[in-house]
Structure 1
Amino acid sequence: MRPLIDAVEAAAWTDAVRIDVRWTLGGDSKEAEYAAGHLPGAVWLDFDRDVCGPVGPVGGRHPLPDPEALQGVLRAAGIDDGTPVLVYDGGDGMSAARTWWTLRWAGIEDVRVLTGGLAAWTEAGLPLETQVPQRPAGNVTVRPGGLPVLDADGAAAWAADHSLVDVRSPERYRGEFEPVDPVAGHVPGAVNLFLGEDDLGDVDRIRARYESVPEPAFYCGSGVGAARSALAVTAAGLPTPPVYIGSWSDWAARGREIARGEES
Structure 2
Amino acid sequence: MNPIISASELLAATAGPARPVLLDVRWQLGGPDLRAEYEAGHVPGAVYVDLDRELAGPPGAGGRHPLPDPEAFGAVMRRAGVGRETPVVVYDGGLGWAAARAWWLLRWTGHEDVRVLDGGLGAWVAAGGALSAEIPSPAEGDFKPSPGAVGLLDAEGAAELARAGVLLDARAGERYRGDVEPIDPVGGHIPGALSAPTTDNVGDDRRFLPAPELAARFSALGADGARPVGVYCGSGVSGAHEVLALAVAGVPAALYAGSWSEWCSDPSRPVATGPDPQ
**TM-score, scaled to structure 2:** 0.91
1:103 alignment partner in structure 2? 106
TM-superposed CA distance for 1:263, in Å, is 2.6
- What displacement does 1:216 show? 2.2
- 161-170 or 107-116, which deviates more: 161-170
Residues in 1 aligned to 2:70 and 2:159: alpha-carbon distance in whole angstroms: 26
In the TM superposition, residue 254 of structure 1 has moved relative to its aligned partner by: 1.9
Residue 117 (str. 1) matches residue 135 (str. 2): no
After TM superposition, where is structure 1 displaced by more than 6 Å over at least 4 residues in a row? none
- Is 1:21–1:96's contact at 8 Å kept on the other side of the alignment? yes
Q: Map Cα deviations across residues 200-255 of structure 1 (whole Å, 9 max, x no partner).
A: 132221110112414321111111111101101101222x2011110000001122
> Which consecutive residues of structure 1, in runs of 5 or more, have no partner in the other structure?
none
Give the 3-state SS of the residue equivalent to 1:243 in structure 2.
strand
Deviations 1:11-59 (A, max 9, x none): 1213210000000112220100000000010001111111111212x11
Letter in 1 for 2:35: E
CA shift, 1:101, in A, is 0.6
Matched, 1:93 2:96: yes
Question: Deviations for 1:166-207, whole angstroms, at most 9, x for unmatched residues?
Answer: 111111111111000001111111111121111113222111
Deviation at 1:159, TM superposition (A): 0.8
Partner SS state of residue 179, structure 1: coil
Aligned match of 1:59 in 62, 80, 83? 62
Q: Which letter does structure 2 place at the counterpart of 1:263?
A: P
Aligned partner of 1:22 among 4, 26, 33: 26
SS at match of 2:67: coil
Asked if 1:263 is matched to 2:277, the reply is yes
1:202 equivalenced with 2:210 (yes/no): yes
Once residues 133 and 74 of structure 1 are traced to their aligned partners in structure 2, the CA distance between those partners, rounded to angstroms, is: 14
- The equivalent of 1:242 in structure 2 is 254
Instruction: Name the % identity.
Output: 49
Q: Does structure 2 retain, via aligned residues, the 8 Å contact 1:115–1:201?
A: no
In 2, Cα distance between equivalents of 1:236 and 1:163: 15
> What is the rounded CA distance, in whole Å, between the counterparts of 1:11 and 1:52 in structure 2?
30
Which residue pairs with 2:49 in the alignment? 45
TM-score normalised by the chain length of structure 1: 0.96
Q: Using the alignment, how far apart are the partners of 2:8 and 2:59 within structure 1?
A: 37
Aligned counterpart, 1:5: 5
Q: 1:226 — aligned with what?
A: 239
